[in-house]
Structure 1
Amino acid sequence: MTGRLWTLAAALVFAGSMAAAQQAAFIQIEAQRSLSRAEDRVRDYASYLSDVNGFSLGGGWYGIALGPFPPEEAAARLRQLRAAGQIPGDSYVEEPNRYRQRFFPVGAGAVVPQSPDAPSEAQQGTGESSESAPEAPAPADETPREARASEAQLNRAEREELQIALEWAGHYQGPIDAAFGRGTRSAMSEWQSANGEEVTGILTTRQRAALIGQYNAVLEGLDLQVVEDREAGVRVAIPLGVVEKDAASSPFVRYEPTGDLPARVLLISQPGDRDTMNGLYEIMQTLEIVPEGGERSRRADGFTLTGQSGRIVSHTEARLTDGAVKGFTLIWPVGDEERRARVLDEMQQSFAPVPGRVLDPATVAEEEQAIDLVAGLRVRQPRATASGFYVDRSGAVVTALGAVEGCGRVTLDDSHEARVAAQDADLGAAVLVPVARLAPRQVAAFRMDPPRLKSEVAVSGYSFGGVLPAPTLTFGSLEDVRGLSGEENLKRLALAAEPGDAGGPVLDTGGGVLGMLLPRDAGGRQLPEQVSFAADAEALQSLVSEAGLSVGRADLGGELTPEDLTRRASDMTVLVSCWE
């Protein structure tokens, strides 16, 4: 749509601009729809920056800008202030003729750029300057009759685009139907009044150009262009002012940010059928670029994925066409919704698959291959992981409390949602209950009688998070049935555990659970590498009972073979993940 809007603007633009306007420049840093909000923000900036101005931009918008400066100085200051983090990253240099009446500093008038022949302040002081005339509505470039005649030459798309621009400016709430009825004429009158024009209800050629210019001002600096990426076989509008083509790795061609704005674009291109498309739909939902909060929809011939986190907003569209899946993803920072929505609309309007061209499935960037990457894109990772173990047949789990505190959500084995049902801060343990009932192959049987000191024990856990597909067993010995300070609910072990083992079951050689391994940093003490502690089985049983569950007790049978012990431990141990 931008291509059409800019074409319309070019066709309507009023020829000629003042030479004096080229002698100065401003740094546009913010725009607000509310004057009171703009006044608050301009005072905030003025508290630590100099040369701060507040302007009416027309169309109900108010801008905050620094200046005026010579153009070269404005560009240099823009870079300096953005690098120092004193102004927003999307600030840009703007010409003074963009600005209208000035509301800050209080009492300041409109900006009138000084031409080379204009009298200096000293000359003005001697009375050599002419008196300034009161501001009047801008003269119309066409009579109402001429304006109506030029308006009649507009095609349907151009008329709809004017209605869209009037809607954006806050003057029109009717349907976008290209019919200039009472509602559209009223909106045109409101726009003319708000912009200091003679109110006729019919926009002249110059006024139509000005309206479209205001509507497109939000896209300035983005350099939105329709690109035909022959590698992907996709044609779509891309904001080349903020992204550039980086790399291709099937099924994506990536456009990465070039400056301070962390925007990204992915082009999707993969040969295949509906199964291929459905597989891509599932895979993309595991990526960091598709946050979990958002709507998902899948159709017979395509899908849409949206997501929003505290940092980004993501939108993906893909469709099945001519034996290939083609689409795009737009990733944009949170807090810049107007520009994001406009860019997304332009991409949606311009998107078209290029027949006969598709990204080669063998296209893989070797340096980007890693277990946590898909085609160079990072897979969404949990904030923290720990081990846990099943304690009843419905899938309830005991784990380390620290692993599940402050989590947005908790999962078991990456796929089953769970909630905290009980916790004991002194013991450092928590009981998790799955949202949907599970059917574990093995559950813990707690050993309540005092074990023999120096007897062999083993801890089962996901030592390295989810890197390995199954838990590992680490062997050691029971050194004491109390903690270092005589705590009755702890057992001291001689065992070199990994951080990921925390929360896992500590077993005797018969497969009975003696307790739960605690994190090594519990209590903030630095202990020798071989020293670990476990929460006592009896204390854990009390916590599980508090959650309304019952646990089994281990019989005092003989020792299990190493293979059987490993199988038993593996079947009861679960990966616990904490997500934002």
Structure 2
Amino acid sequence: MTKQFAFALATGLLPIVASVPATSVVALLSAGPAAAQQATNSQAVRWIQVEAQPTLGQAEARARAYAGRLEGVSGFRIGGNWYAIVLGPYTERAADVQLRNLKNAGLIPQDSFIAFSNQFRQQYWPVGESTLAAAPIEEPAAPAVETAPEQQTETVAVVPATPTEPVIVIQEETKREALASERALDRDARKALQVGLQWEGFYTSAIDGAFGPGTRRSMAAWQADKGYDPTGVLTTRQRAVLLDNYQSVLEALGMAPYEDQTAGLAMAIPAGMVEFDRYEAPFVHFKTKDDNDVQLVMISQTGDQNTLFGLYDILQTLEIVPTGGPRERGKNGFTIEGEDDKITSFTQVKLVDGTVKGFTLVWPKGDDKRRNLALRDMKASFASLGSQALADDAGLDASTQSLDLVSGLEIRTPERSRSGFYVDGAGRILTTIQAVQSCARVSINDEFDANVVATDDALGLALLEPATAQAPISFATFLAAEPRLKSDVAVAGFSYEGRLSAPSLTYGTLSELTGLNGESELSRLTLAALPGDAGGPVLDAGGSVMGMLLPAGGTSGRTLPADTNFAMDAGTVAEFLAANGVATNTTDSVTSVDPVELNTKAADMTVLVSCWN
């Protein structure tokens, strides 16, 4: 049920409007048990149920809070092991009037309703009393409530619209009156106000319930922002507004405890945003509600430190874990934070009870306040329920298997991948400019990053330098002699853009030593290359580099036969490299090696160049 006004009541943030004077109750009770019983028997008894709590402890705390503010608070156990908090008893007419008055005044939740005695079981509040036998209040009185200025919490006028149905009008407090009502707040209520101010972004100090200069400044800033007089002391109504905003967010999140015995873990989850979907080991998948784009994945598997470290690496390949953000790995756990232009992601995993357990929360970018509120409770409440963990095959029989998925989660993939090759012993790499255009990051073989240090748009060439020192097994030896027309050639490249772990050799023929328009720096090849091969070395039969394969269609706007490709010749490539400080190895020898050796040479020098955004 909605509790936003009840929350304000429980922390003392709304005033008391006693529509039924204590003298009325005393008068009825003083008639003795017989009179009370007679009244009960002669009229239909009604109660106003304002809340229900799932545990006795919570219910007692809420009943105690209501009893400090309203008359006639009782608590009864009801069906389903719930504990109701009620006001009464009343006659039927009195209950209807009082329900309307208290709702209008904002003193009870708007979903409060009329309840009946036969719905109640054991009474738990007040302790040791039995109010089921009490005589019902026949008619709420409606006098004006006035107190001395020194004690006044709020000026309340009760103006009867008719002789039997009063209308309550609440006026704003002065600063002096606000201070007086504030003094009635207990420490928890004061802390709740600081939490609300912190949520609104006006308070950054400790939540201690002490209203010092920092709290006063934050109150004044909040008042100014909301158009109130910035006195630094919140009135009763302002306190209610502040916590009503905070409480409405809590209700939208629906933070609730969640236990999964199959996965052996427990934590609070934003049940208003996500709900359980399926198991797909080692993950417990939750699906988003109402297209809010919030995603939750719990993690549970049997394992040791090696399992933990392996998971740390795997998670960082997933789309739900953006690359930007801090990472911290210890011997018994890790955290990963990620952020891009669409989402923010937080992952926490621990090695506990012989298992690896944790969670990843994904939240839309720009909704940091709600995300931080949910994440705070999730991190604080996360717990292992023992050695129980998801079976290694849990849910996998019904899952969708794909190279782009890890247990139902998409693997982060590059925007494009092309080929390149080492050109010197320092690990510098030549590739096509197409491979590295507009990239936030360039990786080599998915193992290390590289920086673009030189490009030539006209030639379509790009020179890369590894971000960390590399010592390649082999690098290119360029053919200085003119190759023989119609000779056999091979292109080494990652034809399938990294799906295969090693480069492929695509065989073809050197068909022409110029481009279609007579370009001297180009060679025309007849072979069936794929987009991923672009940037790869073109090799002669002995493994010497004759040039670099250009992207298909790069030399004209025409559609050419599928087996027509072009390479930038070795001489032009060597000139580009020399102009950028790379000394190349060359040879005039035209030899031939067996296919196995050729394949080894190609594999040792050719690399996968990936563009990430």
Q: Give the TM-score band, short-chain normalised.
A: 0.7 to 0.9
Which of 591, 598, 609 aligns to 1:565? It is 598
Match of 2:172 among 124, 137, 156: 137
- 1:499 paired with 2:531, answer yes
TM alignment of 1:481-500, pairs within 5 A: 481-500=513-532
Q: Distance in 1 between matches of 2:487 and 2:10?
A: 89
Match of 1:550 in 2: 583
> Structure 1 stretch 182-191 or stretch 159-168: which is displaced more?
182-191
- Equivalent of 1:362 in 369, 387, 393: 393
- Match of 2:434, SS state, is helix
Structure 1 range deviating more: 214-223 or 467-476? 214-223
Q: Which amino acid aligns with 1:538?
A: G
Q: Which runs of structure 2 are paired with 1:57-68 in the superposition (5 Å)?
A: none
Match of 1:148 in 2: 183
The normalised TM-score by structure 2 is 0.69
Residues 487-545 of structure 1: per-residue CA shift (max 9 Å, x gap): 00000111111111111111111111111111112133211111111111100001111
Superposed counterparts of 1:8-23, under 5 Å: 8-9=7-8, 11-12=10-11
Separation (CA, whole Å) in 1 of partners of 2:484 and 2:318: 49
Q: Assess, with a 3 A threshold, how the Cα gap between structure 1 residues 232 and 5 changes in structure 2: closer, same or farther.
A: farther
In structure 1, the residue matched to 2:198 is 167
1:260 shift after superposition: 2.6
Partner of 1:218: helix, strand, or coil? helix
- Which runs of structure 2 are paired with 1:264-303 in the superposition (5 Å)? 264-303=295-334
Secondary structure at the counterpart of residue 168 of structure 1: helix
Partner residue, 1:405: 437
SS in 1 for 2:418: strand
In 2 relative to 1, CA 467–305 (structure 1 residues): closer, same or farther, beyond 3 Å? same
1:369, CA displacement in angstroms?
2.0
Q: 1:357 is paired with a residue of what secondary structure?
A: coil
Q: Secondary structure at the match of 2:253?
A: coil
Structure 2 CA distance for aligned equivalents of residues 518 and 227 of structure 1: 56
Aligned CA-pair RMSD: 3.4
Which structure 1 segments of 5+ residues have no match?
18-94, 99-117, 119-133
Q: Could you tell me how far apart the structure 2 residues matched to 1:450 and 1:97 are?
A: 95
1:420 and 1:433 in contact (8 A); partners too: yes
**C-alpha distance in 2, partners of 1:207/1:316?**
37
Q: 1:512 aligns with which of 544, 547, 559?
A: 544
Name the CA shift for 1:331/1:454 in 2 (closer, same or farther; >3 Å): same
Distance 1:435 1:497 in 2: 30
Find the aligned partners of 1:324 and 1:317 in 2 and give their Cα distance. 14
Aligned residues of 2:195 and 2:207 also touching (Cα < 8 A) = yes
Shift of 1:97: 11
1:380 matched residue in structure 2: 412
- Partners of 1:5 and 1:168 lie apart in 2 by 16
What is the number of residues matched between the two proteins? 463
The answer on whether the counterparts of 1:386 and 1:500 sit within 8 Å (CA) in structure 2 is: yes
Distance 2:565 2:178 in 1: 89
**2:489 and 2:509 in contact (8 A); partners too:** yes
Change (3 A) 1:425 1:146: closer
- Is the 8 Å Cα contact of residues 400 and 428 (structure 1) preserved in structure 2? yes
1:458 and 2:493 matched: no
Letter in 2 for 1:371: L
**1:36-77: per-residue Cα shift (whole Å, max 9, x none)?**
xxxxxxxxxxxxxxxxxxxxxxxxxxxxxxxxxxxxxxxxxx
Show the 5 A alignment for 1:39-50.
none
Distance 1:195-1:406 versus aligned 2 partners, 3 A rule: closer
How much identity, in percent, do the aligned residues show? Answer: 44
1:269-323 Cα offsets, whole Å, 9 max, x none, are 1222222222211211111111111011122322111010111100111222222
Find the counterpart in structure 2 of residue 416 from structure 1. Answer: 448
Candidates 464, 467, 485, aligned match of 1:435: 467
How big is each residue's C-alpha offset from its partner over 1:230-250, in whole Å with a ceiling of 9 and x where there is no partner?
A: 332222222223322122122
Residues 1:538 and 2:571 are matched in the alignment: yes
Aligned partner (choices 218, 224, 228) of residue 249 of structure 2: 218
Question: Does 2:294 match 1:263?
Answer: yes
Indicate the residue corresponding to 2:558 in structure 1.
525
Q: 1:321 to 1:97 in 2, by over 3 A?
A: farther
1:182, CA displacement in angstroms? 5.2
TM-aligned CA distance change 1:247 to 1:16, over 3 Å? farther
Structure-2 change in CA distance of 1:178 and 1:480 (3 Å): same
Higher-Rg structure is: 2
Which one-letter code corresponds to 2:531 in the other structure?
P
Question: Per the alignment, in what secondary structure is the counterpart of residue 325 of structure 2?
Answer: coil
Q: Which letter maps to 2:530?
A: E
Matches of 1:405 and 1:148 in 2, distance apart?
A: 65
- Contact kept? 2:4, 2:248, Cα under 8 Å: no
Q: 3-state DSSP class of the match of 1:160? A: helix
Question: Any conservation in 1 of the 2:279–2:395 contact (CA below 8 Å)?
Answer: yes
How does 1:158-237 map onto structure 2 within 5 Å? 159-169=190-200, 172-181=203-212, 183-184=214-215, 201=233, 208-237=239-268
Q: What is the distance in 2 between the residues matched to 1:97 and 1:187?
A: 28
> What secondary structure is seen at the aligned counterpart in 2 of 1:368?
coil
Distance 2:345 2:205 in 1: 29
Paired position in structure 1 for 2:608 = 575
Question: The residue matched to 1:389 in structure 2 has which SS?
Answer: strand
In 2: Cα distance, 1:188 partner to 1:484 partner = 76
Q: Which whole-Å CA distance do the structure 2 matches of 1:199 and 1:550 have between them?
A: 74
Measure, in 1, the Cα distance between the counterparts of 2:502 and 2:221. Answer: 68
- Please list every run of 5 or more consecutive structure 2 residues that lacks an aligned counterpart in the other structure: 18-102, 107-160, 162-168
Paired AA for residue 469 in structure 2: R
How many Å apart are 1:452 and its aligned residue? 1.3
* Cα distance in structure 1, aligned partners of 2:428 and 2:229: 71
